[in-house]
């Protein structure tokens, strides 16, 4: 069966520090991968998605970047965090190219910027 892992679960970082959040998927090949952010009490905002290694689409301009160095690895990064980067970050995967298949989510990373 397929599983998705995100880490760390929680992170407290000072303003201006770098960020690296990692997500890996097991049990499937060539998945679509997604990074979302959820502000406190709010809905989901799609940040990035990827349909293959090295292929990243950005949905909103921001202080963050994403990379996909391997088929089942998706990394969210920042060189300098801002206070507004605080939130709950969720990684998800789906089967490539089929609208009937749902997205499957990791447990999330709660990021607090001080």
Positions in the binding site for other proteins (CB under 8 A): 6, 32, 41-44, 46, 49, 90, 92, 94, 97-100, 102-108, 110
Q: How far is the CB of 106 from other proteins (least distance, A)?
A: 5
Q: Which is nearer to other proteins, 3 or 17 (CB)?
A: 3
Residues 86, 24: contact at Cβ < 8 Å? no
Q: What is the Cα–Cα distance from 8 to 26, expressed in whole angstroms?
A: 17
- Pull the structure tokens for residue 40: 């406190």
Q: Which is nearer to other proteins, 42 or 80 (CB)?
A: 42
Q: How far is the CB of 98 from other proteins (least distance, A)?
A: 7
Residues 73, 91: contact at Cβ < 8 Å? no
Residues 68, 74: contact at Cβ < 8 Å? yes
Q: Which is nearer to other proteins, 49 or 74 (CB)?
A: 49
């Amino acid at each position: 069966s397929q599983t998705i892992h995100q880490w760390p679960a929680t992170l407290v970082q000072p303003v201006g520090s770098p960020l690296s959040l990692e997500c890996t998927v097991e049990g499937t090949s060539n998945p679509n991968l997604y990074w979302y952010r959820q502000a406190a009490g709010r809905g989901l905002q799609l940040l990035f998605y990827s349909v293959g290694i090295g292929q990243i689409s950005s949905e909103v301009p921001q202080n963050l970047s994403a990379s996909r160095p391997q088929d089942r690895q998706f990394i969210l990064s920042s060189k300098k965090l801002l206070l507004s980067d605080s939130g709950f970050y969720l990684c998800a995967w789906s089967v490539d190219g089929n609208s009937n298949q749902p997205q499957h989510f990791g447990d999330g990373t709660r990021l607090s910027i001080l």
